[in-house]
Amino acid sequence: MSRVSVQEADFDMAAETAALSAGRGDVGAVATFLGLVRADKLSGEGSEVTAMTLEHYPGMTEKSLEAIIVEAESRWSLLGVRVIHRHGRLLPGERIVFVGVASAHRGDAFAACEFIMDYLKTRAPFWKKEDTPEGGRWVDARESDDSAASRWET
């Protein structure tokens, strides 16, 4: 199974997490992150989000996610990584992104999982557009995402 998937379809988090340690005795820690569509997500002021549409750059998304994983593997001792990012139209409460990292020890798993999310947020070519009762609006990039990613630069 490929370790990066960019897809419209939902995914099975339990199966993905289990696959990271299935049949091996060296995995002691699996850290995961699941990102969901929030109904109250606001780009500035505004009203409830009724849906979210994710646009991406086919080809580059997969390449950039793979590069982020390779970078994580060069920094920590990892035994398995899985990244799934959905695109298309998603409703509040729906899963957007899954990152799972397996390692012998929890420190590596936690750090790599958070690193991958921080880099994904600033380097993977996805863009969110929110549907609201007043119409669609593109989500602005957040300053806090840049500072989260820059933490990892030495």
Query: In 3-state terms, the chain is what percent helix, strand and coil (to 5)?
Result: 30, 30, 35
In 3D space, the residue among 56, 74, 77, 68 whose CA is nearest the CA of residue 99 turns out to be 68
Gap between the Cα atoms of 4 and 85, Å rounded: 8
Gap between the Cα atoms of 78 and 80, Å rounded: 6
User: Contacting another protein (CB under 8 A), which of 49, 54, 79, 84?
Assistant: 54
The yes or no reply on residue 75 touching its own copies (CB under 8 A) is no
Q: Which one of another protein, its own copies, none interacts with residue 133, CB within 5 to 8 A by kind?
A: none
User: Contacting its own copies (CB under 8 A), which of 7, 8, 10, 39?
Assistant: 39
Closer residue to its own copies, CB minimum distance, 18 or 59: 18
Residues forming contacts to another protein in the complex (CB under 8 A) are 35, 54-57, 59-60, 63-64, 85, 96-97, 106, 117, 120-129, 138-142
